[in-house]
Every structure is written in C-alpha cells, then in structure tokens.
Amino acid sequence: MCRWKKYKRTLLQPSRIETALRTVMTLKPKQLFRQLVSWAALLPLASTVLVAYLGTVLWSLNISFTNSRTFPSDQYVGWAQYQRLFDNDRWLLSLQNLALYGVLFIAACMVLGFLLAVFIDQKVMAEGALRTVFLYPYAMSFVATGLVWQWLLNPGNGIQQAVRQMGYPDFTFDWIIDQDMVIYTIVIATVWQASGLVMALLLAGLRGIDEEIWKAARIDGIPTWRVYVSIVLPMLGPTIATVFVLLFTAVVKVFDSVVSMTQGGPGTASEVPAKFIMDHLFGRANIALASAGSMVLLLTVLALVAPFLYARSRARRREEQA
Amino acid sequence: MNGNARRRRLTPARIGIYAFLLTAALFFLLPLYIMLVTSFKTMDEIRLGNIFALPVSVTLEPWTTAWSQACTGVNCNGIRGGFWNSVLIAIPSTVLPILLGALNGYALSFWKPRGANVLFAILMMGAFIPVQVMMYPLVRILATLGLFSSLPGIVTVHIIFSMPVMTLLFRNYYLSIPQELFKAARIDGGGFWRIFAQLMLPMSTPMIIVAAIMQVTGVWNDYILGLVFAGRDNLPMTVQLNNVINTTTGERLYNVNMAATILTSMVPLAIYFFSGRWFVRGIAAGAVKG
Amino acid sequence: MASVSIHNLCVRFGANEVIKDLNLDVLEREFLVLLGPSGCGKSTLLHSIAGLIDVSSGRIEIGAQDMTWADPTDRHIGMVFQSYALYPTMTVERNMSFGLRISGKPKAEIERRVKRVAEMLHLQPLLHRKPSQLSGGQRQRVAIGRALVREADVFLFDEPLSNLDAKLRAELRRELKLLHRKLRSTMIYVTHDQVEAMTLATRIVVMYAGKIQQIGAPSEVYEKPENLFVAGFLGAPAMNFLHGRLKPTPDSVRFESEGLSLDVTPYALRAAASQAREVVLGIRPENLLIDAAGEFAGTVSLMEPMGNHHVVWLDFGGTLLSSVVSGAPAFCVDDLVRFTLDVGRISLFDSMSEQRL
C-alpha cells in the first residue's frame, strides 16, 4: 500500500523530459541559439559517448546473451555463455593469474614507488637525474618492456647463463619457462615499468604538503619517519587512492606485456582474461563467449571505479561547500 | 668558530637512502644497458658470451638489419615501414584529439550547456571500460563505415579512446582560467567560436604541449588498437616489432631484436628525455580524474 | 622563562646575505615584536632562533645556553605559524598532544596540559573536531594551543594573524595581549603590521635590509624615530617630511625651507648645531594642527573621512601634507586654511645620513 503511494507521488511529478522541454521553451531565442551552438560543438563528444561508449557496451552485453560464433546470431541463450565461461579451465586460470598478478603488481608498485618518492624527497643530490632514471621505463611501450625482459630472463642467454658463467654453475633463474613461476616474471617486468609512475605521482603529492607542517613537526620533536607515517601518509590518502585505481585498471587491461613476453605461455600458464577474450574474438571465433568474458571484466572494473568516482565527487562537493 | 657547525651529516640513515636509490637506479637502468649492449654484438658473441659483457667487436649490422631487412610477417623489409606507419598514425591521432579535447573542455567549463555534465560523467566512466568490451562492436561499426583496416579507421579509434583524457585535461585547465576573462570577452562581443579560436586556444599552449606529449607517447606505444584496426598496410611499429621477435622461425637474432626494440622506443624515449618536466605535468594532470 | 641573546648573527642564502652582523638581547618575559617590510629578514631571524635555519656565523643563546646548533626540539621553544600548520588528519586534541606523546610524557601529564591550555584558549568544545571543521580564528587558537602545551621558555610567532580578516585580527590581538599578561612568558613576534606591533609589544625591533634600525618601547619608536626609515614606516597616515636647511644662529636654531621658516630651538638636538646643514623635518599628521591663527597656509586638496576623524591633505607649495582632524572639519576641499606645527613633537633628520639629529 505504501509502495503504491510512493509510486503515485513520483508519477504525478513532472517528468524530467517535461521540465527540460519547459526550460527550453522559456528561453529567449538568443539564449536558445547560444545553447544550440555549444551543443552543436559538443556533437563529436555526444556521438562518441552515446555510440562508442554506451552503444558498444550495450551491444556487447546483447551479444553475450546470444550464441554468436564467427558471425552475430539472433538466437538468445540467456546466461549460457556465462556458464560456459566459468566452466572453461583456461578462463578460470586467467582469472586466477589476474588476481595473483594484480595483488603482487599493485603491492610492489605502491611500496617501491612510495619508497622511491620518500627517499628522493630527502633533498638528495642529483635528484633530477634519479627521477629521470626511475620514470623513463614508463615512456616505453608495454611491448618493448615485455621483449626486453623476455630476453633478460631467457635461461639460455640471459641472467641465468650470465651468472653461471661468472662461476655459479648451479644457479637457476628459469622462471619464464616454469609454469608455476612465469606469472612472477610478468610482475617483475611491469613493476619495472610502472613504479616510476607511482613515484612521480606520490612525489607530486608529497611536494604539495605545506612546508610549515614540516616545521611544526620539527619543533614538536617528531622524528622524520614518524612524520611520514602519522602525518604525511594520511594526508596523501586521496593521491594514494587515485594511484590505486590507476594501477587496478592497468591490471585488468594487461595484454600487451603478456603477448610480447610469454605469449600466454608456457602453454597457458600465463593466460590473462584480456588475452583470452582477444583470442576468442578473433582466432577462435566465438564472439558471444568473448563478449561474456569482457562483460565480466567490465563489472570487475566498475565494481571498484564507480564507488571511487562517486566518493571523489562527493568529497569535492563537500570541499566546495566548506 | 664553527667547530661544531652542522653540515649535512653523513649519518647511517643518509647512507642507507643513497644505497637504496643507487640500487634502484641500477635495477631500472639494467634493461636499457642490456638492450644497447646486445644490439651492438654479433650473434657469435651473444651465443657464447655473457649478457652483461660489453661488445668485443662493435657492429652496426643488427641495426641495419632491423631497419630494412627483418621479417615482419610476410615481407622482410625491416621495421622502417612500421616507423613511417606510426608517424602517419601519430600525427592526426594527436592533432585531432587535442582540438576536440580543447573544444570539449572549453564548452564544458565556460558555456556549460544544460545536460553536458551528464555526458562528461559518462565519458569519465568510459575511460575505465576495458577495450575488449568495445572491440567487436567497434570493428562492426568501422566496417560498416568502410573504415576498418585503414588509416582513417585507426585514427578514429584513437580519437575515441583518447577523448576522456583529452577532455579532462583541457576542462580542468580551463577551470583554472578566471571566468572574468570569459565574461569580458562576451561583453566585447565574442561568440562561441571566436572566443575559442582567438582567446582560449592561444592561451592553452602549456596544456597543448602536455597533451601532445602524452598523446604522441600513448599512440606510438599502442599495440592492441594498431593490431586490430590499422590493417596490414598500416601496422604501427609496435605491432611489427612483436612480429619480428615473436613470430620468427629458425634462429632468433637477439641482436637484431634488441636493435629493433630500441628503434621502436626511440621516439617516445626522445620525447621523454627532452620534455622533462612537461612529461611529469602530463602524468599528474591526467591522474587527477574528475 | 628565558631570555634570548643573539651575538653577531650572519645568515646567508647562497650569495645573498639576509642578516648582517645582528646583535639583540631579548629580556625575560617581554613581548618583543620584530617589525619590518617584506624581505627585511625578520622571519629569517625568527627561524634562526627556532633552529629551522642554519646560521652562517654568530651565536644564539636561549636561557643562557648556547643553542646555535641545537635541534629545534632541544631549544624549549613553541612556535605558531602564519598558515597554522595544523596536522589535517588529526583532531584538535591530537594536534596538541602529538608532540608530547612522541617525547614520551606520561598520559596524565599530557591530559593535564591539554586541559589547561584548552581552558585558557576556550578550545574545550572543539577538542574532537578536525582542522577542516574549524574557522580561521579557531584554527589559529589551536595553533597557539599546540605551542603552549609545550610549556616552553620562549614562544615564537611568525605573522600568525596575517591570514585572518580585519575584525578577527583585532579580536585575536587582544586575546594574545591578555595571554601574555597571564602567562608572563617571553614572546617573540614577527609582523609587518605596525598596528599589531604598537598594541602588542613591550619593545619593538624595527628591521630593514637585514639590520636593526631601532629597538625601543612602542611610544619611543613612534615619537622619537631613530632614522627616516623608522619615521616613515610607523604611523598611519605616514609622517610628513619637509626638506630644508637647519640654520643655527647665536641664540636660536631655525629650520628653513621653501615657504616655511620655523624656530626649532625647543627641539632637543643630540649634538649642538654648529653649522648649517641639509635636514629633513618630520611631523606626524596629528601634530600638524589646522588653526585659523596658524603661521602657515595651504590649500585643502583631499579629505578622507575615517568615521571619528578626518585625514585632510593640504597642498603646501607643491608638497602634500596630511593632518588629522577629529570630528567634523569646518572647511571644504579647495579652501585655503592656516595651520601650525607643534614644535615640541617634530623630528629632525640629517639629509645625508638619514639619522636623527
């Protein structure tokens, strides 16, 4: 009974469309023209958002409920593709790999990036040179990174061989061909590439902290490490959250590095969801299954990003009101 | 008089800091060193030698091979083709997104047409959508428009995927410009396009530089979009690089591979080394989402 | 409480010598104000006393102990900053007690100190709020509170009221004065605002270009400035300056300039005037009296109503002189009025050395 009353109330309120129409009709012609001009200029934006972003997502969602293989089909099969997805060993392995990779990658990048930023912030000599060295990997493509590390970790010619030649014949470092350890090699390569980014962002955050807070802490007699832990780190909360979200999205998207470094191998040991989806979209010609997979990926990302963006805009609005 | 003058004490803590930073620097520089060193060695040296050793007999052959003779799939004309493809892709894929981003940012921050904020919010969320979700539908759309596997096609795709960041950059930049400037221009009689072209765009030089650096680097380093949308005749350097290295039959020419890798990374690395602070500004600006 | 002694202090930033050979004795329990324009070195001096800046040469003693190279914590000081510098993620209570906790003071002692200071500064209702939830004036009180809990020997203030609006500034100024009277601690206060200096200080140190221009009680610095800079810096509106010559005659001394000749014999010269010299005569607007029976005449060029008084600007032969008239003036702009100068309140400065005669 109460639900009906609430429903009726919302029904009787002028709909959004009505309000919009009413506003448009009360505008004077010149105002209307101005609004139209700016809307016209935003046409590329509007079409991109509606077609390329919203449209494709809905399209993929639609396909994931069909039984399309090489060509799209009109036959709807409900959740069958999703069921097949989660019965697929390769997919499950790719999810497992992604989870393991994600945790290690994000943790390592955060810790390394934070330490680098803090240490560089200690007024060291050659700060500019050091920053250049730590950040240059980020300017390289994922493909190049994967290829270089593939070469470095090559058991026959790379580090393992070099150390053996230096007099340690029993040294082994063949992770890249070891099914259980290959995922760690991808962690190493991508952490090498991305830590500099984390460092740059955290350093910018550190530098944004009011100099006088440091002075006050010195007078209070607070040791430097304690200032970082109790004062600076909490103040960097928003920056750290941003970095975390950036790293998380990078994790979900990981594709180039895996393709160039291990091609998903040995076997399927370093399979990741993005590669699974691409393989099924093109090579193995199962569009519906691939679309189902990409929907799962999308949900994973949205599950984290949506609350983050929402919390962010709320914080910003609160700041503006204060 | 300054017997106990306080100098930057070389305490254990400071030694620890420098030790850590230097070790980290070695870790970061190692792959670059290896790349360079390997690319100047002969294959004999590589087979028998140590990956860390400097080349005994420096040779430029791997470089010339990589540039003009390496096999990128069916042809064996080196990756120079990929280089020019990347250039042809990068230029329009930088200029157009910047113009559109500036236009969008300008409209959103100064004119604020009704409902545009909803579009912007969706655009921001769109930046996080994994590309695989959009892949197949985009392929179909481009195919219908006759743009699939073509240069205009890949440029369109780059425009689509860079719109969130570009719009965000310019919107935030224009938000930092006082509204009074805009109002004064309106009073002076400027309309939408005139204010954009003659006032705001010229004022945006710093952001244009930052956006250009980010976009060129991003487009040049892109792999997956080039792989799918560029078409066999327009494959960017990154795709060709992967082909050279991972799809070779027979013996792997590691020196050629490394030379090819360096050649592919040269443009973005050069941009990085020469742009210095601008590069970091780009990262910081792009990370402050929403 | 402690005194602070500074001997031959030099502070250099690279090639730039900010403080040159400075000597200063801060007496116990006094409220010393370092006053001067931006860049005069007053903040640098304060930071050197605090130990936040390394000195190039010289000695700093706090409480008769050599603290030139001591860490800020070991100097037993409390400091209040211009931007408050409160720890943003901690509550007011935590902000005040954090330093004490780190130094390992017992919990009961910390609680006692925080409670005492909170009462003194009316902070009790705010103890569990974060800085972002406080107004500017409240934040500044918390900053003062954080310094006070340290129960230090010397308290340093670095332009603490500059970020507040005028009304709040006046309010907190009065509170600070009461605080000083209550605590009777040594306080060193930096400001560029002469009103703050005049109202708060027991002694004012006027600084310019890294050197002390004059030290003295507010009334002394105001009424008997040592040089042209001090004379022109204190007082609003600024002191009027007239350039002319000092002519000693056997039984009197006269000041003569274009359009003005004044008998300045009552002025207490430091050294007897033996020969004529170029001088600058300074007279404050409140001592330039508009009087129908006055000796000199000028045209009213501008009148600024200030509420309870008016500032009247007179055109005197090309020079603009200001006068303060209380109540409503009986004349208008462009009127010709007569005025006198109160000879007992003038200042004479040598034109070349700018020093007081």
Q: What confidence tier does B95 reach under pLDDT thresholds 50, 70, 90?
A: very high
CA C267, CA C253: separation in Å to the nearest integer?
A: 9
Structure tokens belonging to residue B90: 């990068």
pLDDT > 60? residue A2:
no
Q: Looking at the structure, tell me whether residues C133 and C149 fall in a common domain.
A: yes
- Is residue C355 assigned to a domain? no
pLDDT > 80? residue B72:
no
- Is residue C346 assigned to a domain? yes
Specify the pLDDT at position A21: 67
Against chain B, the chains showing at least 3 CB pairs within 8 Å are A, C
CA B265, CA B262: separation in Å to the nearest integer?
A: 5
Task: Return the beta strands (E) in C292-341 as ranges.
Answer: 296-305, 309-316, 319-326, 336-341
Q: Span A94-109, mean pLDDT?
A: 94
- Is residue A253 assigned to a domain? yes
Write the Ramachandran bin of C210: left for phi over 0, alpha for psi from -120 to 50, otherwise beta: left
Residue A275 parent element (H or E)? helix A273-278
pLDDT > 70? residue A54:
yes
The neighbour count for residue A238, using CB atoms within 10 Å, is 14
Q: Span B195-221, mean pLDDT?
A: 91
How far does CA C44 lie from the centroid of its chain? Answer: 16
Q: Looking at the structure, tell me whether residues C76 and C104 fall in a common domain.
A: yes
The neighbour count for residue B251, using CB atoms within 10 Å, is 8
The answer to whether A204 and A120 have CB atoms below 8 angstroms apart is no
> Does any CB of chain B come closer than 8 Å to the CB of residue C74?
no
List phi, psi (to 5°) of C262: -130, 140
The answer to whether C46 and C187 have CB atoms below 8 angstroms apart is no
Residue C281 parent element (H or E)? strand C277-283
Q: Looking at the structure, tell me whether residues C10 and C90 fall in a common domain.
A: yes
- Is residue C22 assigned to a domain? yes
Q: Looking at the structure, tell me whether residues C215 and C338 fall in a common domain.
A: no
Over the stretch C125-170, which tens digit does the pLDDT of each residue have?
A: 999 999 989 998 899 999 999 999 988 889 999 999 988 888 889 9
pLDDT > 60? residue B177:
yes
| pLDDT, chain C, mean | 90
- Is residue C118 assigned to a domain? yes
Domain that holds residue C323: 240-350
Could you tell me which chain C residue has the CA closest to the CA of A318?
Answer: C132
Over the stretch A116-127, which tens digit does the pLDDT of each residue have?
A: 999 998 888 888
Q: Looking at the structure, tell me whether residues C186 and C280 fall in a common domain.
A: no
Query: How many domains are there within chain A?
Result: 1
Q: Looking at the structure, tell me whether residues C93 and C226 fall in a common domain.
A: yes
Could you tell me which chain C residue has the CA closest to the CA of A228?
Answer: C87
Interface of C with A (CB under 8 A): 47, 50-52, 71-73, 77-79, 81-90, 98-99, 102-103, 132, 146, 150
Query: How many domains are there within chain C?
Result: 2
CATH number of the domain encompassing residue C23: 3.40.50.300
Sequence-distant contacts of C94-97: CB under 8 A, at least 24 apart? C95/C131, C95/C142, C95/C146, C96/C142, C96/C145, C96/C146, C96/C149, C97/C149
**Option in B14, B17, B238 nearest A143 (CB):** B238
Q: Looking at the structure, tell me whether residues C183 and C324 fall in a common domain.
A: no
Rounded percentage of chain C residues whose pLDDT exceeds 70: 100
pLDDT > 60? residue B2:
no
CATH number of the domain encompassing residue A177: 1.10.3720.10
Residues of chain B neighbouring C69 (CB-CB closer than 8 A): 4-6
The nearest CA of chain A is from the CA of B73 a distance in Å of 15
pLDDT > 60? residue B220:
yes
Over the stretch C258-276, which tens digit does the pLDDT of each residue have?
A: 888 888 888 888 887 778 8
- Is residue A16 assigned to a domain? no
Structure tokens belonging to residue B260: 């090819």
Q: Looking at the structure, tell me whether residues C86 and C49 fall in a common domain.
A: yes
Specify the pLDDT at position B290: 38
Residues of chain B neighbouring C54 (CB-CB closer than 8 A): 6
What is the pTM for the complete model shown? 0.82
Over the stretch A250-293, which tens digit does the pLDDT of each residue have?
A: 898 899 889 888 888 788 888 999 999 998 888 888 888 899 99
CA angle A33, A36, A41 (to 5 degrees): 130
Domain that holds residue A215: 91-321
Q: Looking at the structure, tell me whether residues C325 and C346 fall in a common domain.
A: yes
Specify the pLDDT at position A20: 60
- Is residue C113 assigned to a domain? yes
Over the stretch C80-95, which tens digit does the pLDDT of each residue have?
A: 998 888 998 899 999 9
- Is residue A274 assigned to a domain? yes
- Is residue C102 assigned to a domain? yes
Over the stretch A144-193, which tens digit does the pLDDT of each residue have?
A: 999 899 888 888 878 888 888 888 888 888 888 888 888 999 999 999 99
**Option in A141, A143, A274 nearest B130 (CB):** A274
Q: Looking at the structure, tell me whether residues C47 and C188 fall in a common domain.
A: yes
Q: Looking at the structure, tell me whether residues C126 and C28 fall in a common domain.
A: yes
CA C17, CA C10: separation in Å to the nearest integer?
A: 7
CA angle C339, C340, C343 (to 5 degrees): 160
Q: In what order do the strands lie in the sheet with C347-350?
A: C260-263, C252-257, C240-249, C277-283, C347-350
- Is residue C356 assigned to a domain? no
Could you tell me which chain B residue has the CA closest to the CA of C51?
Answer: B6
Q: Looking at the structure, tell me whether residues C122 and C54 fall in a common domain.
A: yes
- Is residue A13 assigned to a domain? no
- Is residue C272 assigned to a domain? yes
Structure tokens belonging to residue B111: 């004119």
CA A237, CA A254: separation in Å to the nearest integer?
A: 26
CA A305, CA B124: separation in Å to the nearest integer?
A: 10
| pLDDT, chain A, mean | 85
Lowest mean pLDDT among A103-107, B61-65, B213-217, B267-271: B61-65
CATH number of the domain encompassing residue C253: 2.40.50.140
Structural domains for chain B = 12-59 (no CATH), 85-238+267-287 (1.10.3720.10)
Last residue of a domain, one of C233, C263, C295: C233
Could you tell me which chain C residue has the CA closest to the CA of A234?
Answer: C89
